[in-house]
Structure 1
């Protein structure tokens, strides 16, 4: 079985801040990590490989430094890493990103299963996984919380819902996005780290994947982020201190003032 896992390098959420001059995310000096949801997708792919045999290829689209997350994935059990990187990809929205990843998957060759994290923590759109499935014309299921059964022909999973879960069975090849409940990602072993250090990361450009220049980057993005900003605080704020009882008394006094006006 050949499984392709799509991962993304993102800024560490605990260090994210906005540049007040440019109103964009300040990335300089901010540590980059593998998107947390993608870690769970990787773990699930490796677990399926250990059960049924086969190979796991990890794919990412990003700048040259995104190679780091591919080596991290190999250290945790993936077999190969492919970096799709080109200046022409800059400014891509989810539409252009799903197109680029789809062209990369097609260039890699036949696969049985594509795994993605539910969403990336820097964009939070959850659009790339379903968009990729549509581009590849694959059946797909999102928000998978458990893999029940996998065979060479089909996969049966539990899809998380607001009031429980659905059981969904898909013929392979297929695509699924996963949530954090699905597993506990493993820690890379020393042997895995040594393998990752020696691994040859394949690099592919827009030309290599046969991408249409009008469908990638800013040119292929129907949406653009004009400005990112922190909303200004609205209204007066008051912080209560003391014991719980004292804070409740302070809150009641404050509410009575407002209710009498």
Structure 2
């Protein structure tokens, strides 16, 4: 098991009785996927996901590369920032928008649908307070239909030595995607309606704003619950990129003067004290 799995599981256990004070309504491990968790923060309508993408061992360090996703609620402003494809997926049957219900003796986890009989499944995350939230997450058996790029808003590199040593958080102030051919859809009468004009902007997600909200919780509440202190050591601002999708399914990334790539490095543990 990678070290990030232990870190995320330990934090979940420690926050179990402190969720309200931490600005956290619910959290849940995604059953069957190593190092993947959902977080329902009180400050946002949508759901954050951390997903372990890759583990590298280099120079006595374990580097765990984790993607940050945000699944917007269909009624929040952020929903309109995502691409037409992402919006279509979000309102489809792939997602479960039923209310989170926490029964006294559940057969399956009310958050993610995983088996509570699985010893690896951390069941202590279920909230005991009467907080009404939609699940707002992909159905467990349908997650495979999501591509690796959908709903991405940034990523984190966790660097472990004996314990967590550093974090490198990467995001853009805005994620732009343009489509050469545009997008047409049929309305209820069968007429074609232009959703995105040719060469138009299809995605305009304010990634850094969403990442900042999550990292504020993750550093000040989640890691702090394990007595892990983090200090921002370096913040680099570099030219960012926009993506262009062409009719032949080719993808091109180009530098965009209005897009900034931000790389924030945190020192963690004893060094940060």
Tell me the TM-score normalised to structure 1 length: 0.24
Bigger Cα Rg? 1
Q: Say which structure is richer in strand.
A: 2
Which fold has the larger relative contact order, with Cα–Cα distance below 8 Å and residues 6 or more apart in sequence?
Answer: 1
Tell me the TM-score normalised to structure 2 length: 0.23
Q: Say which structure is richer in helix.
A: 1
